[in-house]
Amino acid sequence: MFFKSRPLVEDDLRHWIIEEFAFAIDQNILRNDTPLILPTRDFFTAPGGKTPETVQGLVRDFQRLLHIEDAEIHVAPLNKVRAENMVREYDKLGDTAGTWQAADEDAGGVAMIHYDVDLLEYQPIALLATLHHEMMHHVLLNDEEDFPEALAEEELRTDLHCITSGGGIIQINGAEASGWGGYMRQPTRCYCLAVFMYLRGIPQEQVLPDLSARMTKYLKKALKELRSPDAELEALRRKLNS
């Protein structure tokens, strides 16, 4: 007896992913020139080192990549006690590697990103993934008065849009390096990266060398599933390239 293998993501999740990619196109988060961002000098010009100035430079690089150069976003090390309190408030969704705070007029009208200094010291790829995630909060929520009550769903959505904006490899490798998958499962990240590659016409040979063997397996499975794209995905590709 032969059994059909399970898809990498279930149908309801797949439909949600496609809807969010459509949103990304509508909001200019995903454009027909959005690159697949790599942790190289081709994308990041911040000075080397392990200082707040380096992190601020990385944030400016992300602002350029996300087309929000005019935003006022500052960085500061994360207070560990404050981070632990936030994790308790959020039902222990995971270790707090970074936070984003919207611009507050009482604080000079500047948005703030706090980051775990241990990432700067020991896990630079996880730091990049964290900064991108917090930057996407700024892109998605900067016009909102309050952070959404459905925190887990909003964090999952933010993880997804790190990928729609080009950060799939950084997000996947950042989660691998930190040992914590974040709000999105790694197979789902790989599926989202495959959708990004399909929409942008990026061949797998350009991506696979930057992934681990386990992630390569997930990505190849996702790409195989996308060899016969459905009408929704085809419509998205036409919309992106119109």
CA distances from 181 to 13, 53, 121, 169 (A): 17, 28, 20, 13
Strands of the chain, DSSP E: 73-77, 98-104, 110-115
Please give the pLDDT value at position 110.
86
Q: Which pTM was predicted?
A: 0.88
pLDDT digits (tens, 9 = 90+) for 64-83: 999 999 999 999 998 754 44
Task: Please classify residue 69 by burial: count the beta carbons closer than 10 Å to its beta carbon, then call 0-12 exposed, 13-18 middle and 19+ buried.
Answer: exposed
Residue 92 has pLDDT above 50, yes or no: no
pLDDT digits (tens, 9 = 90+) for 141-188: 876 555 555 677 889 999 999 999 999 999 999 999 987 767 899 999
85 pLDDT band, cuts 50/70/90, is: very low
87 pLDDT band, cuts 50/70/90, is: very low
* DSSP structure class, residue 185: -
Q: Look at 7 and 56; give whichever has higher pLDDT.
A: 56
231 pLDDT band, cuts 50/70/90, is: confident
pLDDT digits (tens, 9 = 90+) for 28-61: 999 999 999 999 999 999 988 889 999 999 999 9
pLDDT digits (tens, 9 = 90+) for 179-216: 776 789 999 999 999 999 999 999 999 999 999 999 99
Q: Which residue has the tokens 């909001």?
A: 27
Q: Is the Cα torsion angle 102, 64, 167, 174 positive or negative in sign?
A: negative
Nearest in space to 132 (alpha carbons), one of 220, 44, 225, 9? 44
222 pLDDT band, cuts 50/70/90, is: very high
Residue 90 has pLDDT above 70, yes or no: no
Please give the pLDDT value at position 83.
41
